[in-house]
């Protein structure tokens, strides 16, 4: 745990995540999240990845606006998605929806390499700055349409998507390695589910719905 003025807030955030994990144990299939994930969330300064005026709320267990109609996900959802992904130290991860870079920073501590795509150029620029300031040199941020993935660096061990399409984009499934996992919210706005997608060593796909969620929509248009 990094000790600073926000340490007590981070501790309360972790306690809230633990309590929610117990409440959701039926959907998650376990009563506690990975210690590796929680250890990283104890270290990454979430207040560095929210707008300055929202820093006092950085560790509250809820989404926060980051501009352009986008939000930073609530800490519990970040923890669950990261836990489901089961990131290993040798993994290369594709992230769709960089935002201001908080999820990227979590992944950077767990994976060997993170490739993150953000549709909005202003958010991508801020994320690069915030990630660099925290010393995360293993994250590359690209402005682009996440629906098409990042073919130049495919295939990926893990894929995480932080905006919801109605249907899982086939290109993201294609860019997932055999033996890989993807965590993605999908469905109509009023019926989104968090979904774990697994590709076995033969390339066969299985999906599991975890629980209902509400994410901003994954825009399939190109950036200006």
CATH number, domain at 62?
3.40.50.150
User: How do the pLDDT tens digits run along the chain, 224 residues long?
Assistant: 455 789 899 999 999 999 999 999 999 999 999 999 999 999 999 999 999 999 999 999 999 999 998 999 999 999 999 999 999 999 999 999 999 999 999 999 999 999 999 999 999 999 999 999 999 999 999 999 999 999 999 999 999 999 999 999 999 999 999 999 999 999 998 899 999 999 999 999 999 999 999 998 887 544 33
Distance set, CA 146 to CA 54, 97, 160 (Å): 27, 7, 11
Number of other CB atoms surrounding residue 149 within 10 Å: 26
pLDDT for the residue numbered 1: 44
Determine the structural domain holding residue 44 and report its residue range: 7-212
1 within a domain of the structure (yes/no): no
Active-site option among 7, 34, 73, 104: 73
Q: Is 73 a catalytic residue?
A: yes
Decide if 82 is inside a domain.
yes
Q: Is 150 inside any structural domain?
A: yes
In a domain? residue 220: no
Asked whether residue 133 is domain-assigned, the answer is yes
Residue 30 lies in a domain: yes
Axis crossing angle, helix 7-23 with helix 35-43, rounded to the nearest 10: 150
Pair 96, 163: CB distance under 8 Å: yes
Residue 22 lies in a domain: yes
Q: What CA–CA distance (Å, rounded) separates 37 from 183?
A: 15
The pTM assigned to this predicted structure is 0.93
Overall domain count for the chain: 1
Which pair of structure tokens corresponds to residue 218?
Answer: 């994954």
Burial 171-191 (b: 16+ CB within 10 A, else e): ebbebbbeebbbbbbbbeeee
- Report d(CA 66, CA 172) in Å as an integer: 25
Return the residue matching tokens 């270290």.
Answer: 43
Closest CA to 64 of 167, 216, 217, 199: 216
The answer to the question of residue 75 being in a domain is yes
């Amino acid at each position: 745990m990094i000790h600073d003025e926000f340490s007590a807030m981070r501790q309360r955030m972790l306690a809230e995540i633990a309590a929610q994990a117990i409440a959701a144990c039926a959907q998650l299939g376990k009563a506690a999240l990975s210690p590796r994930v929680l250890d990283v969330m104890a270290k990454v300064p979430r207040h560095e990845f929210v707008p300055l005026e929202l820093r006092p709320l950085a560790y509250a267990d809820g989404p926060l606006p980051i501009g352009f109609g986008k939000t930073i996900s609530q800490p519990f959802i970040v923890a669950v998605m990261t836990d489901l992904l089961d990131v290993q130290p040798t993994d290369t991860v594709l992230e769709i929806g960089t935002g201001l870079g908080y999820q990227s920073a979590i992944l950077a501590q767990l994976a060997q390499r993170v490739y993150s795509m953000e549709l909005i150029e202003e958010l991508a620029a801020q994320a690069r700055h915030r990630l660099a300031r925290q010393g995360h040199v293993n994250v590359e941020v690209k402005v682009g349409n996440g629906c098409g993935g990042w073919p130049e660096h495919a295939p990926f061990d893990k894929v995480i998507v932080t905006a919801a399409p109605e249907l899982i984009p086939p290109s993201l499934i294609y860019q997932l390695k055999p033996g890989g996992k993807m965590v993605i919210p999908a469905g109509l706005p009023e019926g989104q589910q968090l979904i774990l997608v697994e590709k076995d060593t033969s390339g066969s796909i299985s999906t599991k719905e975890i629980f209902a969620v509400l994410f901003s929509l994954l825009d399939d248009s190109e950036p200006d």
